[in-house]
Amino acid sequence: MNAKRARSVRAISALFVALTVSGTIAVQAKADTPRNGYGLFIADDETNWANPNASLNLDERFARLRPKLYRLQIIWNALEAAPSNPTPAEAQAALERAAWVTRTHALIDKARTQGVEQIVLTLRANEPSNAGTGGYVPTPTRYEIEIAKVVQEFADDVDVWGGANEPNLWKTSASTIGAIPFNTLVAYQASLAEVVGYYDPTAIWTSPDFNDETGAWATYVTNYKNAGGGWGHVAAFHPYAGAAAQSLATTNDYAAIVPSGKSIWVTEVGAHASPNLTTQNARVGWISRGQASCPSSSPCSLASHDRVAKIAYYHMRDHSSTWDTALMESTLDRRPAWYTWCAATHGDNALHADCDPALGEDRAVAGDWNGDSTDTIGVFRPSTAMWYLRDANSSGSPDHYVNFGATGDIPVAGDWNGDGTDTIGVFRPSTAMWYLRDSNTNGSPNHYVNYGGAGHLPVVGDWNGDGTDTVGVFTPSTGMWQLRNSNTNGSPNIFVNFGGPGHIPVAGDWNGDGTDTVGVFSPSNGMWFLRDSNTNGSPTYQYNYGSFIHAPVAGDWNGNSVERIGVFKKVSALWQLSNSGTSVDYSFAFGLGG
């Protein structure tokens, strides 16, 4: 066994909790799909047939989603040789099958280089261009002979096998989409178990990957079950209709058929880009959000379903005129749905560096840098830990240059000593350390604070109205704020539950009473929700301003002691600040875009 394979087997073995006398592995259901690349991964098999190593769908945008599993498909007879004395069409079909093998190896190798640890390979129907002598629905004997070749070929690379992709939407002839007879499917699944058990004994296998888009799909699955069809180690499901309706009805129906206690892996699901990208993004949010976002203890989304252990999103890049559930345009430009999926795979952290439109771009900050009672703009450049601060809300050269912090730090700004001037600081996520400085000059921190933990985002404000800004943290997965009234180590003084997954925290004095209070920005729809007290409750103000390409900022732009909102367009370094929350009052470029 090669080293790559050995690592993969050890990783995937941790997913399974019991090995029974019969040799079947019992997989326990999980209450919530993990908020990382093990729970939320990618299914995709697009590549350039002429150059399999191109694989545009597995570029750095794929890597930044941090999938630890990757699913792709291969035709069931990919290793079938051309017959003796083939016709030109038969010879070409054999070449097409061989090309599929080559590109599958290339995609698996590319995925591994991008951090993928576990490969899921599912057998699928033929197309007219690669059909062989066994036809489209082969006899069980012929099926077993051909899949044995495929399993032997890829045994060192594959961790999870699927025997039949969407058997209820199988290509049954050159021009017909139908269904594999369920008795035949029972035999196919038995062959898969036997072949994988013999040639790839460290791998696991799924049930057939059933699809919920046909009218009688549940009857088909029930007939398969009643005929003695096997379920493998996990039950595979493609709830496309459920995602389109943002409904758990089909997943609940499938869970009722699947043997009790067996986890469901959604090995493929996606949200179509039609009618528009806003609708697609909402559906991706429904697919990916966890139980913490539900209004009660009942599941309200696919990822919060008690039986759903893993979800594979299909697919990365738009490349078809007939099917588009892609997270990116054909040009590789990211859609809103990409950012929503990225946040979910990083613990619902929309501010994670992987989810920014470009690594290395400037981070927006705002503060009263010169003590004139008006907040103005600034940027922190992570690649150099340089701060560029300006004393006016307009384009121009910085008024203050400061080198403070380190790559990976999150910038913060506040009046740490109550002298009426905001100064710089950083929060280091790896250690939960805050380093705050009392002047906008190079030098050592004046305040060292250890506050927060894994998955927390930093927030700053004058929480008690004493004229000094102090630290706080926001947990995106739960919407919990934990605020402290001094810049010292210790327990929170204030707990507030406001906001939730996918939200970015903002804080400000929204009503001019001298106390900063909580707020959140939702990149998926550009909504701001602001509250006038640091207590649980409904928003006091709601604004629609900005979108997923913007970073939120807040400040007193006109010196009237009331803070308002603004956005920084990360790809072009364009600032748009508003004194009302509705119209743009200042628009200018400052900083370095991605």
Query: 594 and 571 in contact (C-beta within 8 Å)?
Result: yes
Give how far Cα 413 sits from Cα of 115, 307, 427, Å.
35, 44, 10
Amino acid identity for residue 226 in this structure? N
| Nearest Cα residue to 403 out of 442, 363, 446 | 442
User: What tens digit of pLDDT does each residue of 162-187 get?
Assistant: 999 999 999 999 999 999 999 999 99
pLDDT confidence of 1, banded at 50, 70, 90? very low
Give the tokens for residue 276: 């528009």
- Note the pLDDT of residue 454: 76
Can you tell me the distance from the alpha carbon of 573 to that of 43, in angstroms, rounded to the nearest whole number?
A: 34
The answer to whether the predicted template modeling score (pTM) of the entire model surpasses 0.75 is no
The pLDDT of 458-466, averaged and rounded, is: 97
Q: What is the pLDDT of residues 39-84, one digit of tens each?
A: 999 999 876 555 555 577 888 889 999 999 999 999 999 999 999 9
Residues 218-235: tens digit of each pLDDT:
999 999 999 999 999 999
Question: In this predicted structure, which of 92-101, 351-360, 371-380, 582-591 has the lowest mean pLDDT?
Answer: 351-360
Q: Please say whether the beta carbons of 577 and 566 come within 8 A.
A: yes
Residue 330 and residue 512: Cα distance in Å, rounded?
47
Q: How far apart are CA 126 and CA 132, in angstroms?
A: 8
User: What's the CA gap between 571 and 362, in Å, rounded?
Assistant: 10
Rounded CA separation 450/443 (Å) = 20
Q: Determine contact, residues 367/356, Cβ cutoff 8 Å.
A: no
Return the H-helix or E-strand segment holding 441.
none
User: How does residue 4 score in pLDDT terms, banded at 50, 70 and 90?
Assistant: very low
Alpha helices in 335-484 (DSSP H): 336-345
CA distance 49 to 26: 39
Give the CA distances from residue 166 to residues 41, 252, 376, 594, in Å, rounded to whole numbers and listed in that order. 19, 18, 56, 40
Q: Are 438 and 421 in contact (CB under 8 A)?
A: no
Number of other CB atoms surrounding residue 31 within 10 Å: 14
Q: What is the distance between the alpha carbons of residues 272 and 326, in angstroms, rounded to a whole number?
A: 7
Helices then strands, counting H and E runs in the chain, come out as 10, 33
Q: Is the peptide bond before 275 cis (omega within 30 degrees of 0)?
A: yes
Burial profile 326-336: b = 16 or more Cβ within 10 angstroms, e = fewer: bbbeeeeebbb
Which residue is listed with tokens 């495929």? Answer: 150
Supply the mean pLDDT for the chain. 90
- Residue 17 pLDDT: 30
Q: Do 458 and 451 touch, CB atoms closer than 8 A? A: no
Sheet holding 527-530, edge to edge: 504-508, 517-522, 527-530, 541-544
477-499: per-residue pLDDT in tens? 789 999 999 999 999 999 999 99
pLDDT higher than 90, residue 197? yes
